[in-house]
Chains A and B, each alone.
Chain A
Amino acid sequence: MSRLRRLTGWLTTVDHKRIGILYGVSAFAFFLIGGIEALLIRLQLAFPRDSLISAETYNQLFTMHGTTMIFLAVMPLSSAFFNFLVPLMIGARDVAFPRLNALSFWIFLFGGIFINASFLFGAAPNAGWFGYANLTSKTFSEGQNLDFWLLGLLVLGASSLIAGFNFIVTIVNMRAPGMTFMRLPTFVWMTLITQFLIILAFPPITVGLILLGFDRFVGTNFYNPAAGGNPLLWQHLFWLFGHPEVYILILPPMGIISEVLPTFARKPLFGYPVVIYSGILIAFFGFGVWSHHMFTVGLGPVADSAFSIATMLIGIPTGVKIFNWLATLWGGRIRFQTPLYFALGFISMFLIGGLSGIMHASPPVDMQQQDSYFVVAHLHYVLVGGSLFGLFAGIYYWWPKIAGRLLDERLGRVNFWLFFIGFNVAFFPMHFLGVMGMPRRIYTYAEGLNWELWNRTSTAGAFLLGVAILVFLFNALVSLRRGAVAPADPWDGRTLEWSIPSPPPSYNFAEVPIVKSRDELWAQKKGRRSAVPRSEASPEAIHLPAPSHYPIVVAFGIITLAAGALTHLWVSVAGAFLMIYGIYRFAFEYRSGAHG
């Protein structure tokens, strides 16, 4: 196949596995960008009155670091797993809407590039990832920085919503025969819950962003207190999205480690139904706690108390999960391989983030911690110590299935220990800095406040973390070039994806499996019963969705439409035409399916 044909193959693919890989690679690229931004931030803070980076650049860097890590790195890394694994784990040949799946990927990629393109114009967003009104108004933020931000986030929201509906339909409708809900792998359950969070949490921020767009482009005053508007409206809309967003970032990694721990302990997940119900409860409560981000805005003692109690309640199902994971390990035969290291890293570090979360669930305590480095420590223990450790557990666990080659175990362990030590050196001192009164989002600080030592330590840790990521990249490249070829089931796994070759063929399952138990593959291997006898199916006869040009066309139309808001109306009109044309062709596209 020529290079061009190969490229076109990727651009028009609707195969969930290829889309998963596209998500993974793009998200990792954005993750590296966000990481470089973090290192620049840490360099600036290593010394008091450091003049390496200007105030304006610093504000752009921390805004883009947060925006990138949340929307362009951690969320889409989870999406990579949803895409690659959900059909395999439920015994399906693809997602319910393969072309929509491609569409959501291309919208995500173009949206991510769009926001980052702002750097080329020296106009990167600079009001924080939370973009509090009324600092975001035209009066106080004249440039196009925030236009890039709000348009980019609107576009990315469309991508998340499309993917959310797609996965809900997939998980509800595409399960293999016998794969009842209470036999679904835990990761699939957490995916399902996450999709419901996405479709319910993105509408509020979309509304908030559209109101902001009106304020900035049309001159309305939704958030302008001088004209009777209310800047707190933004905070409510944003956090009504923003807090569930935290669970969107943490539930999929919780699902990942609920797969990794049983495999490496060689025991089923302890209390599977309770782990599922806890996930549902966390998601449900997640919508009733947004104002704990607003304990200092003066909502009054009654509201503060209510949101405080609701927030503390989330500690209960979270604690239950941790105990269930410990009980899964208890009595097991634990094999120490890299995925397990990262899963244990998740439990031990996420616990610290969870417990500091309980501290600022108490509004009086939060009055001291809010917007201080204590919160920076907390959120990184949740999102790095939790989400990223979980995602790395997933990367090391499923890499052989995805790449068809094994990662090096020794490098994996070096990767883990550098990551673990670097992470703690970088972020634990931030607890001290917060207690010592250092606020967040300051590009400079005076000497003599005793902040120097811990800031310098933290910067050193951040660079160690950077080295850990380089070790991972090296490991990945070596594996792709000359890694040992992966068998179908390298870890003695329990779920269906390990029953098919690594990497899986385009049609996934030659014959759709018939599921008789939770941990179906394990049950088959343990010989309590044999696999359902398969007829010799010929893969050529399997119908697969045909590649399509239109997802990328529609996505390009959408991003052009957004870019028009920054340039000229005609660009928007052209984008809108392209989008409508793409949707029209998309809708009436008919081609007989390609065959495996």
Chain B
Amino acid sequence: MSTLNSVADLGSRIGDLFTNIIGWTLFILIIVEALLVWVIWAYRDRPGREEPKAVHGHVGLEIGWTMIPALIVTIIAIPTISTIFRTQAPPPDNALTIQVTGRQWWWEIRYPELGIVTANEIVVPAGRPVTLELKSGDVIHSFWVPRVGGKRDLIGGKVNTLTFTVETPGAYPGQCAEFCGLSHANMRMLLIAETPQEFDRWVDTQREPPAPPTGEAAAGPAAFVSGGCLACHTIRGLSTGVVGPDLTHVGSRQSIASGLLKNTPENLARWINDPPAVKPGARMPKLPLTGQQIATLAAYLGALK
């Protein structure tokens, strides 16, 4: 999750500026600390040392050491301002817009141009600019994928944007960076950059309805309805709930419960059985489901690729 080794233009620009500023600050740090150590060594009280002269100040020196920090501040300020404007420039025309809505404690992801709705995993094409439209469904959250770049807050009544181009395909973890209540620590996510071909394939599968369930999962839709899941979750063609994440293709995600658990049948069963035990305060309650229902649901959801 390191902020160094950036994989996107945004992070690289920030990284360059950081390297520049850390150079100057280390320079000042070393000089001043060395000076301090030297002064207290050279002027330590020793037998025979004379009573010091009462020097009250020196105008030239004081002007000098006002100018030095002023100069260094100016040197730091110039690339800062230019980076501010470059990293907050309006998105280019070919940018892919993705809407990210923060909710206690998960991320809703929408691709308005592609008609895709998903959660907690943002899939982007590598090499193409992406603009995130950041909103909040409840309290303030903050979007942060350290290897992609800096964070931007999600605030009710306001739409923030964050534009970047991921250069290197891969999966990069992130998490909410603004304290947002009980399970703030558990509001994680994954940003997955795919090659353009892989991305197009992903888009195609997401737009398809999921394959009809077979085998153990065949009873899934019925369990989904009778268990009450439909009230909060959408599975295209089956339900239209909007309180929780869209589950149409939940089986295709790498993780569940906003990045807390790997997406395996066991973990799905564990989550469905008692969500607040996995994620304290989770809005999804422990429902009165039988073991059989949970197993069916886990198999069904896992198969929603």
A227 closest partner in B (C-beta): B157
Chain B residues positioned under 8 Å from A54 (CB to CB): 280
Contact B1 A449 (CB under 8 A): yes
A140 CA to B5 CA in the complex, in Å? 37
Give the contacting residue for A316; candidates B25, B43, B66; CB below 8 A. B66
Pick out which of these stretches binds chain A: B114-122, B142-150, B196-204: B142-150
Contact B52 A304 (CB under 8 A): no
Q: How far is the CB of A56 from chain B (nearest CB, A)?
A: 6
Chain B residues positioned under 8 Å from A228 (CB to CB): 157
Q: Does A444 make an interface contact (CB < 8 A)?
A: yes
A438 CA to B33 CA in the complex, in Å? 29
- Contacts of B265-288 to chain A: CB distance below 8 A: 280-281
A439 CA to B87 CA in the complex, in Å? 22
* Given known A368-B3, A368-B150, contact A265–B140 (CB-CB < 8 A): no
Q: Does A443 make an interface contact (CB < 8 A)?
A: yes
Q: How far is the CB of B165 from chain A (nearest CB, A)?
A: 16
* Given known A308-B81, A308-B84, A364-B150, contact A334–B28 (CB-CB < 8 A): no
Pick out which of these stretches binds chain A: B56-64, B238-246, B291-299: B56-64
Contact B43 A334 (CB under 8 A): yes
Contact B175 A439 (CB under 8 A): yes
Q: Does B9 make an interface contact (CB < 8 A)?
A: no
Q: Does A297 make an interface contact (CB < 8 A)?
A: yes
Contact B179 A331 (CB under 8 A): no
Q: Does A365 make an interface contact (CB < 8 A)?
A: yes
Chain A residues positioned under 8 Å from B68 (CB to CB): 319
Q: Does B192 make an interface contact (CB < 8 A)?
A: no
Contact A326 B39 (CB under 8 A): yes
Contact A326 B36 (CB under 8 A): yes
B141 closest partner in A (C-beta): A135
Contact A362 B76 (CB under 8 A): yes
A265 CA to B43 CA in the complex, in Å? 8
A22 CA to B55 CA in the complex, in Å? 38
Q: Does A322 make an interface contact (CB < 8 A)?
A: yes
A443 closest partner in B (C-beta): B185
* Given known A356-B25, A358-B25, A437-B1, contact A348–B186 (CB-CB < 8 A): no
Q: Does A453 make an interface contact (CB < 8 A)?
A: no
A449 closest partner in B (C-beta): B1
Q: Mark A304-338, 1 if CB is under 8 A from B, else 0.
A: 11001100110110111011101101111111100
Pick out which of these stretches binds chain A: B16-24, B123-131, B205-213, B218-226: B16-24
Contact B179 A128 (CB under 8 A): yes
- Contacts of A406-448 to chain B: CB distance below 8 A: 434-446
Q: Does A231 make an interface contact (CB < 8 A)?
A: yes
Q: Mark A433-469, 1 if CB is under 8 A from B, else 0.
A: 0111111111111100110000000000000000000
A351 CA to B146 CA in the complex, in Å? 27
Q: Does A582 make an interface contact (CB < 8 A)?
A: no
Chain B residues positioned under 8 Å from A304 (CB to CB): 84, 88
Chain B residues positioned under 8 Å from A305 (CB to CB): 80-81, 84-85
Contact A444 B185 (CB under 8 A): yes
Q: Does B13 make an interface contact (CB < 8 A)?
A: yes
A362 closest partner in B (C-beta): B80
Q: Does B231 make an interface contact (CB < 8 A)?
A: no
Contact A331 B140 (CB under 8 A): no
Q: Does B95 make an interface contact (CB < 8 A)?
A: no
Contact A436 B88 (CB under 8 A): no
A228 closest partner in B (C-beta): B157
Total CB contacts across the A-B interface at under 8 A: 266
Chain A residues positioned under 8 Å from B33 (CB to CB): 348, 351
Give the contacting residue for A365; candidates B17, B32, B146; CB below 8 A. B17
Chain B, interface size category, equals 35 or more
B71 closest partner in A (C-beta): A316
Q: Does B14 make an interface contact (CB < 8 A)?
A: yes
Give the contacting residue for B80; candidates A232, A331, A363; CB below 8 A. A363
Chain A, interface size category, equals 35 or more
Chain B residues positioned under 8 Å from A319 (CB to CB): 65-66, 68-69
Chain B residues positioned under 8 Å from A329 (CB to CB): 36, 39-40, 43
Chain B residues positioned under 8 Å from A274 (CB to CB): 57, 62
Q: How far is the CB of B268 from chain A (nearest CB, A)?
A: 19
Q: Does A119 make an interface contact (CB < 8 A)?
A: no
Q: Does A298 make an interface contact (CB < 8 A)?
A: yes
* Given known A56-B280, A309-B77, contact A367–B14 (CB-CB < 8 A): yes
* Given known A127-B179, A301-B85, contact A367–B150 (CB-CB < 8 A): yes
Contact A445 B185 (CB under 8 A): yes
Contact B157 A313 (CB under 8 A): no
A344 CA to B77 CA in the complex, in Å? 30
Of A318, A362, A372, the most chain B CB neighbours within 10 A belong to A362
Q: Mark B170-202, 1 if CB is under 8 A from A, else 0.
A: 000101111111111110100000000000000
Contact A331 B52 (CB under 8 A): yes
Q: Does A28 make an interface contact (CB < 8 A)?
A: no
A445 CA to B187 CA in the complex, in Å? 11
Chain A residues positioned under 8 Å from B281 (CB to CB): 55
A460 CA to B149 CA in the complex, in Å? 31
Chain B residues positioned under 8 Å from A351 (CB to CB): 29, 32-33
Q: Does A132 make an interface contact (CB < 8 A)?
A: yes
A73 CA to B179 CA in the complex, in Å? 24
Chain B residues positioned under 8 Å from A355 (CB to CB): 25, 28-29
A437 CA to B146 CA in the complex, in Å? 6
Chain B residues positioned under 8 Å from A332 (CB to CB): 43, 52
Q: How far is the CB of A234 from chain B (nearest CB, A)?
A: 10
Chain A residues positioned under 8 Å from B85 (CB to CB): 301, 305
Q: How far is the CB of A302 from chain B (nearest CB, A)?
A: 9
Q: How far is the CB of B74 from chain A (nearest CB, A)?
A: 9
Q: How far is the CB of B12 from chain A (nearest CB, A)?
A: 11
Contact A436 B150 (CB under 8 A): no
Q: How far is the CB of B73 from chain A (nearest CB, A)?
A: 5
Q: Does B155 make an interface contact (CB < 8 A)?
A: yes
| 22 A-B pairs (CB sep. < 8 Å) | A230-B157, A231-B157, A267-B52, A268-B56, A296-B150, A296-B151, A296-B178, A301-B84, A304-B84, A312-B73, A318-B69, A319-B66, A327-B55, A331-B52, A331-B53, A333-B43, A355-B28, A362-B17, A364-B13, A365-B80, A436-B3, A442-B175
Taking A59-B181, A226-B156, A326-B32 as known contacts, 7 extra A-B pairs with beta carbons closer than 8 A to each other, sorted by chain A number, are A59-B184, A135-B181, A332-B52, A348-B33, A358-B25, A439-B177, A449-B1
